Amino acid sequence: MINLSALDNPAWNALIDGHRQIAERNGRAARYPAAMSPIAGLERYTAEGFEALKGLVPKDDVVGLVTGSAYDAPEGWAQLGEIVCDQMVCEAPPGAPDVVPARLELPDVPAMVELAMATEAGPFRAGTIGMGRYYGLKSPDGR
């Protein structure tokens, strides 16, 4: 059985585990470098956690918090929006695809950013490729 406990606080767990080498951290708060992603996470969504986050967020900067449950932002923080999304886990991988995905590299970044903006797929910035490996399906002309 798969251990899903990391999904209870996904951003925090990614920032202290798999992405800890690229994370900016201040005690019980962490975030990705701004050029990479606006996502941040707190160990606990408490006044103490938000206080630690202040050390990572310049005045008037915007961060996105990915949480497993609702929280109340303390004074000094404004919630600009909220997106509810489902977390899904693939317990049994599908069969091999008809098309082989291509590894996306730095020269692909402009097209990746353009696609993310056109589809409103979420935060994807020029530095996001530094978060890990990305794969995509390319047309015969390489796009």
**What pLDDT, in 10s, does the model give residues 92-114?**
888 877 788 899 999 999 999 99
**What pLDDT, in 10s, does the model give residues 69-91?**
888 889 999 889 888 888 888 88
Is 124 domain-assigned? yes
Burial group, residue 84, by CB count within 10 angstroms (0-12, 13-18, 19+) = exposed
Residue 55: its pLDDT value, please? 96
**What pLDDT, in 10s, does the model give residues 10-37?**
999 999 999 999 999 999 999 999 999 9
In terms of domains, do 84 and 121 share one? Answer: no
Residue 11: its pLDDT value, please? 93
* Closest C-alpha to 54, from 83, 84, 75: 75
Name the pLDDT band for 1 (thresholds 50, 70, 90).
low
Range of the domain at 24: 1-88
**Is the pTM value of this prediction over 0.85?**
no
In terms of domains, do 81 and 15 share one? Answer: yes
Q: Is the torsion defined by CA of 130, 16, 84, 8 positive or negative?
A: positive
Angstrom distances, CA of residue 77 to CA of 38, 62, 69, 81, 94: 15, 10, 18, 12, 43
Q: What percent of the chain has pLDDT over 90?
A: 52
In terms of domains, do 47 and 114 share one? Answer: no
- CA 46-26-130 angle, 5° bins: 115
Name the pLDDT band for 4 (thresholds 50, 70, 90).
confident
- Residue 134, SS3? strand
Across residues 43-69, what is the average pLDDT?
92
Give the separation between CA 24 and CA 40, rounded to whole angstroms.
9
Is 18 domain-assigned? yes
In this predicted structure, the answer to whether residue 2 has a pLDDT above a threshold of 80 is: no
In terms of domains, do 4 and 46 share one? Answer: yes
CATH number reported for the structural domain that contains residue 4 in this entry:
3.40.630.30
